[in-house]
Every structure is written in C-alpha cells, then in structure tokens.
Chains A and B, each alone.
Chain A
Amino acid sequence: EDKVVQSPLSLVVHEGDTVTLNCSYEVTNFRSLLWYKQEKKAPTFLFMLTSSGIEKKSGRLSSILDKKELFSILNITATQTGDSAVYLCAVIETSGSRLTFGEGTQLTVNP
C-alpha cells in the first residue's frame, strides 16, 4: 500500500521566519510528487516534482525531490500571515491514475 508521511503535523512561526516542511513516501511505482496548499476550501496546486535534485521555485516557495531517499521538502522563506494553511503532499504512481495524500502540515504564521 502506498504511503505518504508528512512532518511536522503542525507548525507555528512568526512572520519573516523560514520554514521547511517534510514529506517522505513509500510508493511501489513512483511517478511524481505534488505539493498543494489548502486554505479554507479545496487544495490548490503548488508544485509537481518528477526528477531528483531539480528545485522548483515560485516566489518565496521552493521544493526539491530526492528519489534515492524517497523524500521531498517544501521551503517557504520570509513567511507571511497569508501563508497560513495546510500544506499537503501527494504522490502519483506510474499509471498516473491515483493520488495518495499525506496527512498535511498545518502552518500558522503569526504577525
């Protein structure tokens, strides 16, 4: 059974801090790993990572995948209160037909 584990489960920081969110996985036929941000409603897509060692970057957010260690991190620099959300990690297996999600990391950024 595919498994995705995120850590920490919750994190409280102050504005301006840098945070690192972790995602490890066990997937039989790994294809890609995705990061989502979920505020009040539906998850919104952040990144899809398929190759090891290639950093994806969008503004203050960046992510990288290590396929040897079965691990990904999501970094957020200079955090803002608007970054407060649940960050979800998910993996897709090679057929591309199924997304398996981790439990999520609840990030709270205080002013």
Chain B
Amino acid sequence: NAGVTQTPKFRILKIGQSMTLQCTQDMNHNYMYWYRQDPGMGLKLIYYSVGAGITDKGEVPNGYNVSRSTTEDFPLRLELAAPSQTSVYFCASGTLLNYGYTFGSGTRLTVV
C-alpha cells in the first residue's frame, strides 16, 4: 500500500516561478488536505477537498490553487512563488470513519 504519495520531496524555486506539488492517495479517501508547516510551528490548512470536483479554502489559501478532478489526486499549485512560501508542505487524506488522517512524507520547498 502506497498510502499518500507526495512529489517532489525537495524543491528550490526562484521568486516568481511557478510549480505544482503533487499528491496522490490510493485508499479511496474522500477527504484530502494540504497543510504547510513553518519551522517550530503547527500545521496550517491551505486548502481541502471533500470529494472529486469540490475544493474549499483553509486558513492560509493566498498564493495557492488546487484542483480535484479525481478521487486520487489533489495537486497544489503555486503561481508566483514568494519567500513567505518557504515551508514544508504536507498532503493528507481521510474519511469520516477513518481513525486518524494519513499524511504524506512532505515536500520541503525553499523560495529564494
């Protein structure tokens, strides 16, 4: 079982560049999430989705976009990278009945 797979694991972007962080889960979970974690801080919700075709903003959505065309995939798009987006990004998935949400291994992004 792959669980939640995030790619890439590391990335360095220049200011103004764009990129997409990929997230795929093979557990048929309806709910998927993107969090960011800054050093020494908890996780902040960026966007989430309760099913294919449905997305919603979390606490810190500015500068990001998402789509959910399939149950399995929930990519996160950064259009114009800024140094404030330097962080570790975690994708997670779950269901209402799930005993805890499953997290991907994270993507460490640095914007210079």
Task: Knowing A97-B48, A97-B50, A98-B48 are in contact, say whether A103-B31 is a contact too (CB < 8 A).
Answer: no
**Structural contact, B42 and A103, CB atoms closer than 8 A:** yes
Task: Knowing A42-B90, A96-B31, A96-B96 are in contact, say whether A101-B42 is a contact too (CB < 8 A).
Answer: yes
Contact count band on B: 20 to 34
Q: In the docked arrangement, what's the CA distance between A45 and B58, Å?
A: 21
A residues with CB within 8 A of B:
4, 6, 34, 36, 41-46, 48, 88, 90, 95-104, 106
Is B41 interfacial (CB 8 A cutoff)? yes
Is B99 interfacial (CB 8 A cutoff)? yes
**Structural contact, A42 and B103, CB atoms closer than 8 A:** yes
Is B100 interfacial (CB 8 A cutoff)? yes
Task: Knowing A34-B100, A48-B100, A98-B58 are in contact, say whether A41-B106 is a contact too (CB < 8 A).
Answer: yes
Is B82 interfacial (CB 8 A cutoff)? no
Is B112 interfacial (CB 8 A cutoff)? no
A8 to chain B, nearest CB (A): 13
Interface residues of A, dominant DSSP:
strand
* Complex interface residues of chain B between 35 and 51 (CB less than 8 A to chain A): 35, 40-45, 48, 50
B residues with CB within 8 A of A:
31, 33, 35, 40-45, 48, 50, 56, 58, 90, 92, 95-96, 99-106
Q: In the docked arrangement, what's the CA distance between A36 and B103, Å?
A: 11
Residue in B43, B48, B50, B104 whose beta carbon sits within 8 Å of that of A88 in the complex? B43
**Structural contact, B101 and A45, CB atoms closer than 8 A:** yes
Contacts of B106 in A (CB 8 A): 41-42
Task: Knowing A100-B45, A103-B42, A106-B40 are in contact, say whether A48-B105 is a contact too (CB < 8 A).
Answer: no
Contacts of B99 in A (CB 8 A): 45, 48
User: Which chain B residue shows the least CB distance to A1?
Assistant: B59
**Structural contact, A102 and B100, CB atoms closer than 8 A:** no
